[in-house]
Structure 1
């Protein structure tokens, strides 16, 4: 077995995060993607002592698990990897993967409450970030998502199941409009071109839509007609703002050098439970609104009726968890590194007439050292890399009776939980929340108490 060799094998199982594996000549072969039971072809990238790393090239035979209807882009675009699997089976797969991760870290003796389903497993996303490009070199302009396994090829995903018909209409109309203008799309390697991204955000509970066209400054194009075309669309929801973001960053990411308002507001509103949140074009907000309500209900359920307690909301983002928990606490103190998110959190607290929440900008590891209050409960909701080891030590020193850990990456979650157990804590309850149907990802909430 050598590099660049093509292998064919049956996918034996799937691991958390989107990888799967099979065996060839009794050697484990790992690929990105793949569904248990598929017969696949894969190109060897690296041969190691204990395993082979390969790139999945073709599905020769589908899995017996693949019984669900799919959109026309499935298998081509990199957005979904499990759309063909019925939702009940997706949940079972994620439950088994979570249990395996906890076993690998020898974390046991807790109550596993399974994985809660998303209220919607189609059309659940409230934000889509599309990229301008082409599907093949010098082909017609496209607007959508990257082709699976391709760095530059973009496929127009106008039949995507992750979003509702409003998104699909905005996408179709935008790409058709700009195809007629012959404006060049931005080429990231050459740093030339004009059209970069289209970001569409929607308040699922409020019905407000924010459209953000992202371009470079390399053309001076009048977008008045485009604005009018968008406003003429027959949509279920209401467009409350159309924005033009100038982005001359060399990075292949949506950044803002200048923001121009073409129509309406530079923000929209969304509701969670009875709370209202003002969301700017670049604010973080959970991409599954209905799922977020379920997620925060799990957190609230794990905390219970403890209205006299001080809660620390660490990695608080725009303060959604802290504000949802404010009715259950005497005081909530949130810490978040990104200043814009903290400003939004404090503004939203005022919007909701919440007076017992304070949000502080700064690094969690540094700021926790300066707090005079001592928490009864700590809520942790860190980014995908988990909690820095120094910050975790400071969190442990608070000696809080209870910790609720919310994680979007169970791999780093179990690593951090192992350290917390060494420090005298015990994992009591674990519950998954499927915020990302049809993908390999899952959110997880863990209740931890001091022994």
Structure 2
């Protein structure tokens, strides 16, 4: 079947309209005429396999990764980087319009000079490939594991250590069906290794150290976290703020773009010396501590106990005394906070904010809300709730935190009353 691709999905798939149905076509680019085979036909949409590109986009390029068309990690390697940024901007605009009825100017996406080997964390899986134990990623839309020798999104140091582990799975006694996580500090290039899954506490860690010394090596065996070697946390930094990161803590995976993300958040927040700031979903305090120097007081709320511990340690590490961190669900803790907040920072997971949290923030009546999101769909849903409560959407700034993938980060400035 031949069709014309005229849209892009939030995950980076080309979209064509066939008999009134949206048809999703991986590896197709808007503006192309393609030959497809429908592989899934639902009531309101179809999924198709790209058979042949009849008329190619001028933005089509050869993907440099040999695993690209099987691996599910990337979605845009076949698209030139400038066009990737345009498509991600369009995804944000389309999501706001389609889901929330919001028609607002979206700034051009802030991209990278070099959109490769930017990640500071990789999560491999172990499993059987053709009967042999291997380490890699799952083939797209499957639970079939594919061994990977070189991922172009992670640093060469991370790749070298990963390759050593993959080549010595049996000798190191690494179990089947576990996660192998490698993290790297952008501040000092040190590595942290985490082996997550049943049996990982029995790995031959001493043999591993014969290859290369890591800053720390952990196992998480059926929920029990154990440090086998080195430092308790990985030391990293954003601008002038230093952070200690525990094994499973969330930390942005793109250090260079995280600096730019923080610049945008600071610019949008416009914090004065007398302002009280609330940081919802604060994690290890990366945003809260970055804003503390300009604010009177910052309160961070986070549900993960280990992240709150990290945040408190990080405040002490940086000699920051005007930050307070509270453990609990944002939608449960924040409605009961008695103090007034002038600025609220929202940086929720992909699922977005709970409705009761948005209601409590509206009642709080901050002069500014800065919302950072990695999911345009839930962002649109939540922004609609703020608009309904008579808040204004002032600026929308996408940032490419995840080049070559379908994901895009977005920061939105929301204000109360006229500005």
What TM-score, normalized to structure 1? 0.85
Unpaired runs of at least 5, structure 2: none
- Counterpart of 1:41 in structure 2 is 36
Aligned length: 413
- 8 Å CA contact retained: 2:201, 2:226: no
Segment drifting more, 63-72 vs 146-155: 63-72
Structure 1 residues 23-422: aligned runs within 5 Å:
23-25=17-19, 27-31=21-25, 34-36=28-30, 37=32, 39=34, 41-48=36-43, 51-54=44-47, 56-61=48-53, 63-67=57-61, 69-104=63-98, 105-108=100-103, 110=104, 112-135=106-129, 137-138=130-131, 140-156=132-148, 158-179=149-170, 185-187=175-177, 196-217=178-199, 222-231=204-213, 239-247=214-222, 256-261=223-228, 263-422=229-388
SS in 1 for 2:311: helix
SS in 2 for 1:345: helix
The structure-2 alpha-carbon separation of the partners of 1:20 and 1:58, relative to structure 1 and needing over 3 Å to count, comes to closer
The structure-2 alpha-carbon separation of the partners of 1:230 and 1:423, relative to structure 1 and needing over 3 Å to count, comes to same
Partners of 2:38 and 2:126 lie apart in 1 by 29
Partners of 2:278 and 2:200 lie apart in 1 by 46
1:207 deviation in Å? Answer: 1.4
Deviations 1:293-321 (A, max 9, x none): 10010010112251211111111111111
1:180 deviation in Å? Answer: 5.4
SS in 1 for 2:210: helix
Deviations 1:358-415 (A, max 9, x none): 1111111221122121011111111111111112111110011111111111111111
Partners of 2:325 and 2:113 lie apart in 1 by 30
The structure-2 alpha-carbon separation of the partners of 1:218 and 1:375, relative to structure 1 and needing over 3 Å to count, comes to closer
- Counterpart of 1:440 in structure 2 is 406
SS in 1 for 2:237: strand
1:66 deviation in Å? Answer: 1.7
1:342 deviation in Å? Answer: 1.1
- Counterpart of 1:191 in structure 2 is none
Partners of 1:224 and 1:40 lie apart in 2 by 54
- 8 Å CA contact retained: 1:111, 1:428: no
- 8 Å CA contact retained: 1:115, 1:431: yes
Q: CA RMSD in A?
A: 2.2
Partners of 1:441 and 1:222 lie apart in 2 by 37
Segment drifting more, 123-132 vs 210-219: 210-219
Partners of 1:271 and 1:393 lie apart in 2 by 34
The structure-2 alpha-carbon separation of the partners of 1:373 and 1:33, relative to structure 1 and needing over 3 Å to count, comes to farther
Partners of 2:336 and 2:20 lie apart in 1 by 55
The structure-2 alpha-carbon separation of the partners of 1:57 and 1:141, relative to structure 1 and needing over 3 Å to count, comes to farther
1:222 deviation in Å? Answer: 3.7
- 8 Å CA contact retained: 1:133, 1:142: yes
1:216 deviation in Å? Answer: 2.3
1:259 deviation in Å? Answer: 1.4
Partners of 1:345 and 1:366 lie apart in 2 by 20
The structure-2 alpha-carbon separation of the partners of 1:40 and 1:389, relative to structure 1 and needing over 3 Å to count, comes to farther
SS in 2 for 1:368: helix
Segment drifting more, 422-431 vs 57-66: 57-66
The structure-2 alpha-carbon separation of the partners of 1:119 and 1:395, relative to structure 1 and needing over 3 Å to count, comes to farther
1:260 deviation in Å? Answer: 3.8
Answer yes or no: is 1:431 the counterpart of 2:413: no
Deviations 1:124-183 (A, max 9, x none): 000001011233x41x33211111222132332x221101211221121111112557x5
- 8 Å CA contact retained: 2:280, 2:301: yes
- 8 Å CA contact retained: 2:124, 2:179: yes
Unpaired runs of at least 5, structure 1: 1-6, 188-195, 232-238, 248-255
SS in 2 for 1:113: coil
SS in 1 for 2:163: helix
Partners of 2:18 and 2:327 lie apart in 1 by 52
- 8 Å CA contact retained: 2:175, 2:199: no
What TM-score, normalized to structure 2? 0.92
The structure-2 alpha-carbon separation of the partners of 1:167 and 1:222, relative to structure 1 and needing over 3 Å to count, comes to closer
